[in-house]
Structure 1
Amino acid sequence: MSYTVKMLVVCAGLFPLWPWGASAGEIRFSRSSQWRAWSAPEGTIAISPDGRVSPVFIRKSINAALNADQFSVLGDFGDGEERLGGIRGAGTNLRMAGLILDGDEETFWTPAVGAALDDWWVEVDLGRAVSATEVAVKFARSGNPFSMFQVFVSTGEEAVYFGSGLKKYSLLAETTRPNTRYELTYPLLPQDVKLSGRGELTFRQFVRFVLFRALRTAENPRLAEIEVSALGDNIVLDSEQRGGGALIAPAGGDESEPPTFASDIIDGNYNTGWNSLGNFVGDPKRWGWVNIDLGTLFWVDHVRIITSFEFTGKRNVPVFGYKLFASDGTRSSGAGAGEFIDFDDLVWEEIAELEANPAPERFIFEEHLTPRKVRYLFWSNRNQRRTGVSTVREIQAFGEGFIPGVTLTSGLIDLGGAKNLTAIHWSGETPPATRLVVRTRTGNELGEKLHYFDKEGNEYTEKAWNKLPPFKREKEPTVELIPGAGWSPWSLPYEYSGARFQSPSPRSYAQIQVELISDDPQRAPTLSSVALEFTDPAAEQIVAEIVPRVATPGQMEEFSYFIRPSFGSGTRGFDQILIRVPTDPVFRGLKLDHEEIDPVAVRAAADSLVVTLPTAVQSAQVNFATQVFLNATLFEGFVRRSAEPDSWQQIDPGDASPDALGDDLRVFLPASSRGLQTPTIDPAVITPNGDGRNEQLTVCFALVGLEASRQLRAAVYDLGGRLVARLRDQSGSSGEYALLWDGRDGAGNMVPPGVYLFRLSIDSDEPTRAFTRLVGVAY
């Protein structure tokens, strides 16, 4: 079968080599059209016309009518149709009705000439139910206000019964005398439920529809705007489009069953909901819980839980208790690797609790929080008062500030064959408390992933797609190109722009990932460009291994570094080898194709050894000596043509010689030798009298095998245990150290002659942690 190749998601697209054309040997991304081909969670980045990328700003106190057309609800009245927000209907002059949502107070809707009074109405659909605070009605000053009118609001709840298609409206405002004002504002009641004289329960803060209806004709009436002030951007909406969503507890709290997806409480539709079963204590993972993945990090300071007392005439059981947890996505130590992120997989913070809900019971719950970064929300129904099902209509979350963590990923970059990637550059702005984090990965093979669609663009599993009638499905699946076998994991973050390329190279394909991170809600980084530098490879592949694989810590050790290149068409060979070493190396010899030979030049530095070869070779062996202080020290290697200074090609670990075992470039230390190595002290007695002999104490020692920095303390005490002088109290990592003491105390005064105690220690779990020695002072 032949497949139609259609790049559905950004990472499926292949960025070809030459069209970027900034200069030979460079691929650059800097234009807005290029950034739009990168992938990011939907709605999280803004791209300026001049090609700058920044996180979106999440707002408080919005007019929810202005962007109503950006939201839609699927099947809100049981008909399965998706409806975009905006104007739901108008009794007359429908073509002008959209002008009341454009933010322009000079444009307007007015009834058509001759239209009957019964047709003088217009209905607004916000596209989602919002937490509203007030509704404003504005009239254009180029005409007259409507004289007598009513304003209704609705959650979207259907009247009479579910599926009736009739909305249940509540009267918000009604003029009692002719109006002459051009702007009127109607606050929504702060409480969640109001019992009116007719016994109707009205949810005033949760609004999706607004209906304006004239009660009396007027001359030249012009409605300019209907505004709905809301708490802010509800960041729970569009969680699924960002790659997140909501998972709910399996029926009956059976943990052996997988959780199920539940869009009904994050879809902005009051007609859908989740029936949450309570009546338990203890484990928050049992019974009625929902785990919401927002799809990316947001600043959150306000969460609302919307339940219903009554729906289409039926009463619901209140929520009598709950717990609310938040997580920024930090994984717990025992996190699993499954498809679903379980409660136990994340580090959670309990941010709110409802212990009781006494009569008259509440049905809308507000939780105001200190602003924090949140990726996941976990809500558990802890209904211990009585057994029953509580219907949760929506869970909303709000905050203010730039999205604190957005990941932007390039498509698969086709390098036009194997290329030696040498460096990565980027530019942008990073105000205080912000940063750009850049990673890469590479590979040589591509895989395929098939996607199955119907004629309307809805995606199905292969099994479900095959069950569709042929006239409803696309003739062929769509092929997405994805990283294939052998791709490297994402690299560690690059420390600076222009850094050496870290992912395996040479390779035929590459991918770039940039995180835009902020720790301040009011500040955000901006990304302007990213560029990869490359050259033609010196060899198709170069592998190396080192022997011995285990070294004595802190001692000069003899090593052999075996190198085997594989050449092919288009490769140009190399004449220099660079080996990264932990300490100053000593060159011992060179073998080319198993024969000892003198190098053209050798350059030894504190962290590297560079050997220049007289000729191209099929194999090489570099012998040198150095000291190892850190377990699993990596001896990275590179080769290049000396005539091209920026052409260093990375050496991969592999089988380079039958004389070496291990196929690796790491050297290990015995576990028993890690920690503080025995210091040397010279002289044992100092005579700081100014004659130039034995004036100061020198302590030399090494820290070995420390995976991270540890606090290092060195001090001199008198024999009574009193501190005389502090020589060091700061962090230290694996390596060699030297400390000096000139016989003075902490105040700078010469100490009396006598015997003193020198003590050296590190904060570590390694076997050797402290050292103590008597030293003398004489004059």
Structure 2
Amino acid sequence: ESDRVAVDEGDWAEWEIAAGTVQLGPEGVRPHRIREQINAVLDAPNFVSGEGVPGGIRAAGTNLAEAANAIDGREDTFWEPDEDAPFRDWWIEVDLGRLVWARKIVVKFAPEGMGDPFLQFKVLTSNGLPAFSQSKAIRFAQAGRSEGLNKSQRVFEFDLKPSQEADADFVGDMFQFVQIVATASARGQGHEVSETRWNSLPEEERGDVIYFLRESSGVLRQIDQDQHAALSESRAGPIKYYRRERPRLAEVEVWTEGDNISLGSLSRGGLIGGTSNTGTERLAIDGDYKTVWTEQVGVSDVGNVDVEFDRELLFDLGTWFWISRVVIGFDRENIAHGFTGAFPNYVINLSNGQRNPDGSLAYVARATRETTDIEPGRFSGLFPHIFYQDNAFPLTRGRYFKMDYRVLIVPNWANSGIRELQLYGRGFLPQVTLQSAPMELGSDPRILSSVHWAADTPPGTQVQFRTRTGNQLDEEIHYFTNAGKEVTEAKYRKLLSFQRGDSTISVVPGADWSSWSPYYTATGAPISSPSPRRYAIVEATLRSDDPGQGALLRGMHIALDWPLASQVIGEVQPRQTQQRGERTTFTLSLQPQFQADNRGFDQVLVVLPSGAAVDLEEVVVGAERVRYGPEEVTRVETGTDSLWVQLPAPVVEGEGFVALQFSGVLYLASNAFAVQVGLGEGDERVWQRVDAGAGRSLQVLTPFSGGLLGEVAVSSNPFTPNGDGINDVVELVFPVFAVQGAKALVLEVYGLDGQRVRQMAPVVAHAAGVQRLTWDGRDDQGRLTPPGLYLCRVGMEVDAEGEQTTITKLVASIY
């Protein structure tokens, strides 16, 4: 029963967050950052392949227990082959957990004094396809090897080349598995040392001792120890002592383009489908080269009446990213089975969620491919054998991906397939959302007063909150099979006992919950969701317009107050005006309901519809309907956007009626009045929202007829711009109807010869209402225009087909 509900730095993990969209830490939460040029080995365990096995060490020919040391990011830990194991077992295999587009592989051996490099080795890669049909072994290809016999070089970098036909400028290769295989070993002849040093070595590090015979020609020939001992001093050659080879692999690094944005899209709420919508489209984004999404890209020139030629692949990434390239791995494996090659044409489009006038997503084309006859392939070059395609473009904010493609008419038919569709970019996610579970505010309903938060918001970033409130919670039961798939209750009941998994109960908002409030953009903002209420859900959104910057949200709290009344019901009459633009008298009626501990209220605040300005006419209070004139109550100064009235006395239990009568002109088609009652002064003041009860409304409708502009009134016409302070400007006053939000007004002045002499386009925060524009008789260069008649065109810039948005008036300038 405290005065706040708080969320601290360590509490964000309990909120509902789309998988992989934020970084949680001791300081708070910030958007996830998409990385460029990463070592894919380090996060391999975060990815699980189609077999359900996380990435990491897949196998080792020997000493499997220490194999993970080769992928831990440390150069002071090692994988060392067992020296007693057969040399053919000196290999290690890494599973990256997903298909990657890598540019180079780096192999690092133990630093000097801590071990030796492999005398010779090779690097193999695989995309996971079997070595041959029905084989459980996977097919590897050599990606690099060390040259000669090496005992000194400890870091090797292998630049990768495409293993399949690719764009001419395609750099790197696509694979999931890496093998490091030793191909030669010095064994007992690792490094030559002195006899003294050899004798000081531990027994297990002592290597070979080699004896030599000196031929009469001076040539040295290796012999055994007994032979050497029998030689005369002149024939006895040198004795060489060796430290045993300590082959120690410190690190295997696979440097890729960066984080593949496509991975994890479905788990964070994304979707993929398209024209065919076969359900297999997801195979193009599963990180597994062994799976393929196949699609028809060519049909016969006969019997194709029902074919959809223009098709699309649609992909919701689940959240917003900064994207700069799309890499496609087309299917090469099935060429021999009737498949033709890559798609013959496609256009890659991205959308950030903005909508066209018809409600569809607005896309921007980012890359286009069109087959030319010079490209090799089936059907006279229509289907290119370019299986790795890299489509790069300027960094673009997007969540929705669309690939348009057209089916061609060919002599027979043609199929193609996409093994993997990868998206890359960089920077902090431009928008992420966190949502709380229903928060209980207390055993009794409470007023949600204001929302506060602590955050670091670098330039270009922003933190916003919004809320929902209610008094009822419902329970939802979810049923799962033993494989973890959610099913309906009816299907769950039909399952055998061993097929049934868990059933879980979740708490969800009930029927009385409000919709989401508008966003709160500044800490300390008053909460606009209905209250008093028992429960609230809070949503936080972190936004960024700069990929290099991300906001850090540390903590937040909601300030609570005790209710002034258990509920206040409001209604505005009349609900509809007879004619727009006419002054009308309205009555706002309030009916409070009190409980014993409610304090009551002594003020009413009405936030008026855009453009409306009203005059208070009367206040009625109490069961006796005591009437007060405007001079008997205090109207607090607030500007023209609201009406704030201090009542003569507090309204408490037993005085359950308040009415405000006021007159004014409404300019919108639907005019909402936001009403609150209050008690107290200054920082101690408490506000409680007024709700519209059943069958009541706090909205007034106006007739939606006539143009957007009303009659233009011209004052000081003619005017005399001579600087004497009298009639120096002409003023044009006009009402604007049915236009929401900020707009640019227009004033253009023309001479009778048709030449424009002045243009102005000031932006007003609220277009609806009475607007005023003035002209001082000067042109765009600030020069006074000659006396005479001028045409003044006034209005506003809006996209309203068929509506009159400007009106022209004739004015006279004399001096």
TM-score (norm 2): 0.81
What is the DSSP-based 3-state SS (H/G/I as helix, E as strand, rest coil) of the residue aligned with 2:328? strand
Pick from 796, 805, 809 the counterpart of residue 762 of structure 1: 796
2:403 match: 379
Seen in structure 2, the aligned counterparts of structure 1 residues 88 and 288 have a Cα distance that, compared at 3 Å, is: farther
Pick from 699, 703, 706 the counterpart of residue 739 of structure 2: 706
1:447 match: 474
Pick from 525, 534, 547 the counterpart of residue 521 of structure 1: 547
* Whole-angstrom CA distance in 2 between matches of 1:242 and 1:110: 40
Pick from 703, 725, 729 the counterpart of residue 761 of structure 2: 729
Whether 1:172 aligns to 2:143 is: yes
Q: Contact (CA 8 Å) 2:573, 2:587: kept in 1 or not?
A: yes
2:515 match: 489
Q: Cα offset for 1:389?
A: 2.6
* Whole-angstrom CA distance in 2 between matches of 1:61 and 1:294: 21
1:308 match: 331
What is the DSSP-based 3-state SS (H/G/I as helix, E as strand, rest coil) of the residue aligned with 2:69? helix
* Paired AA for residue 387 in structure 2: F
Map Cα deviations across residues 462-481 of structure 1 (whole Å, 9 max, x no partner).
4554454313534x511111
More off after superposition, 634-643 vs 583-592: 583-592
* Whole-angstrom CA distance in 2 between matches of 1:239 and 1:321: 27
Q: Cα offset for 1:708?
A: 4.1
Map Cα deviations across residues 298-336 of structure 1 (whole Å, 9 max, x no partner).
122121221232269967431241313333352545878
1:418-457, aligned counterparts within 5 Å?
A: 418-454=445-481, 457=484
1:53-452, aligned counterparts within 5 Å?
A: 53-75=29-51, 82-141=52-111, 142-162=114-134, 164-175=135-146, 177-180=148-151, 181-190=153-162, 192-193=164-165, 205-217=173-185, 218=187, 219-250=245-276, 259-260=278-279, 262-279=281-298, 290-310=313-333, 316-330=339-353, 332-333=355-356, 347=363, 349=365, 351-356=367-372, 358-359=375-376, 361-379=385-403, 382=406, 384=408, 385=410, 387-416=413-442, 417-452=444-479
Seen in structure 2, the aligned counterparts of structure 1 residues 595 and 42 have a Cα distance that, compared at 3 Å, is: same
* Whole-angstrom CA distance in 1 between matches of 2:337 and 2:22: 43
Q: Contact (CA 8 Å) 1:265, 1:392: kept in 2 or not?
A: yes
Q: Cα offset for 1:249?
A: 4.3
What is the DSSP-based 3-state SS (H/G/I as helix, E as strand, rest coil) of the residue aligned with 2:421? strand
Seen in structure 2, the aligned counterparts of structure 1 residues 282 and 527 have a Cα distance that, compared at 3 Å, is: farther
What is the DSSP-based 3-state SS (H/G/I as helix, E as strand, rest coil) of the residue aligned with 2:18? coil
Count of residue correspondences:
718
What is the DSSP-based 3-state SS (H/G/I as helix, E as strand, rest coil) of the residue aligned with 1:260? coil
Whether 1:636 aligns to 2:613 is: no
Q: Cα offset for 1:550?
A: 3.5
1:550-561, aligned counterparts within 5 Å?
A: 550-551=576-577, 553-561=580-588
Q: Cα offset for 1:690?
A: 7.6
1:665 match: 698
Q: Which stretches in structure 2 are left out of the alignment for 5+ residues? A: 188-244, 378-384
Map Cα deviations across residues 35-81 of structure 1 (whole Å, 9 max, x no partner).
11112221111122122x11111112211111111111123xxxxxx
* Paired AA for residue 794 in structure 2: L
Q: Cα offset for 1:224?
A: 0.5
Seen in structure 2, the aligned counterparts of structure 1 residues 147 and 649 have a Cα distance that, compared at 3 Å, is: same
* Whole-angstrom CA distance in 2 between matches of 1:287 and 1:777: 62
* Whole-angstrom CA distance in 2 between matches of 1:462 and 1:312: 45
1:27 match: 5
1:341 match: none
* Identity value in percent: 32
* Whole-angstrom CA distance in 2 between matches of 1:705 and 1:756: 29
* Whole-angstrom CA distance in 2 between matches of 1:389 and 1:741: 68
* Whole-angstrom CA distance in 1 between matches of 2:339 and 2:685: 71
1:12 match: none
* Whole-angstrom CA distance in 2 between matches of 1:492 and 1:187: 53
Q: Cα offset for 1:155?
A: 0.8
Q: What is the aligned-residue RMSD (CA, Å)? A: 3.2
* Paired AA for residue 411 in structure 1: A
Q: Contact (CA 8 Å) 1:701, 1:736: kept in 2 or not?
A: yes
1:526-537, aligned counterparts within 5 Å?
A: 526-537=552-563
Map Cα deviations across residues 658-678 of structure 1 (whole Å, 9 max, x no partner).
xxxx72222333323553332
1:340 match: none
* Whole-angstrom CA distance in 1 between matches of 2:398 and 2:813: 60
Seen in structure 2, the aligned counterparts of structure 1 residues 261 and 451 have a Cα distance that, compared at 3 Å, is: farther
Seen in structure 2, the aligned counterparts of structure 1 residues 549 and 125 have a Cα distance that, compared at 3 Å, is: same
What is the DSSP-based 3-state SS (H/G/I as helix, E as strand, rest coil) of the residue aligned with 1:145? coil
Q: Contact (CA 8 Å) 2:338, 2:415: kept in 1 or not?
A: no
* Paired AA for residue 590 in structure 1: V
* Paired AA for residue 279 in structure 1: G
Seen in structure 2, the aligned counterparts of structure 1 residues 698 and 301 have a Cα distance that, compared at 3 Å, is: closer
Map Cα deviations across residues 177-212 of structure 1 (whole Å, 9 max, x no partner).
322221112222146249xxxxxxxx9812111122
* Whole-angstrom CA distance in 1 between matches of 2:451 and 2:306: 49
Pick from 23, 28, 36 the counterpart of residue 13 of structure 2: 36
2:238 match: none
What is the DSSP-based 3-state SS (H/G/I as helix, E as strand, rest coil) of the residue aligned with 1:234? coil
Seen in structure 2, the aligned counterparts of structure 1 residues 694 and 684 have a Cα distance that, compared at 3 Å, is: same
Whether 1:675 aligns to 2:708 is: yes
Q: Cα offset for 1:110?
A: 0.6
1:573 match: 600
1:466-505, aligned counterparts within 5 Å?
A: 466-474=493-501, 477-505=503-531
Q: Contact (CA 8 Å) 1:248, 1:261: kept in 2 or not?
A: no
Whether 1:653 aligns to 2:631 is: no
* Whole-angstrom CA distance in 1 between matches of 2:725 and 2:333: 94
* Whole-angstrom CA distance in 2 between matches of 1:71 and 1:283: 42
Pick from 652, 657, 668 the counterpart of residue 619 of structure 1: 657
**Who wins on radius of gyration, i.e. which is larger?**
2
TM-score (norm 1): 0.84
Seen in structure 2, the aligned counterparts of structure 1 residues 649 and 289 have a Cα distance that, compared at 3 Å, is: same
Map Cα deviations across residues 629-684 of structure 1 (whole Å, 9 max, x no partner).
333222211112236843111111235xxxxxx72222333323553332333444
Q: Contact (CA 8 Å) 1:27, 1:533: kept in 2 or not?
A: yes
What is the DSSP-based 3-state SS (H/G/I as helix, E as strand, rest coil) of the residue aligned with 2:15? coil
* Whole-angstrom CA distance in 1 between matches of 2:291 and 2:543: 35
Q: Cα offset for 1:580?
A: 2.0
* Whole-angstrom CA distance in 1 between matches of 2:597 and 2:117: 78
Q: Cα offset for 1:703?
A: 2.5
Q: Cα offset for 1:455?
A: 5.1
What is the DSSP-based 3-state SS (H/G/I as helix, E as strand, rest coil) of the residue aligned with 1:100? helix
1:610 match: 645
* Paired AA for residue 160 in structure 2: L
* Paired AA for residue 210 in structure 1: V
Q: Contact (CA 8 Å) 1:544, 1:563: kept in 2 or not?
A: yes
What is the DSSP-based 3-state SS (H/G/I as helix, E as strand, rest coil) of the residue aligned with 1:35? helix
Seen in structure 2, the aligned counterparts of structure 1 residues 574 and 87 have a Cα distance that, compared at 3 Å, is: same
* Paired AA for residue 76 in structure 2: E
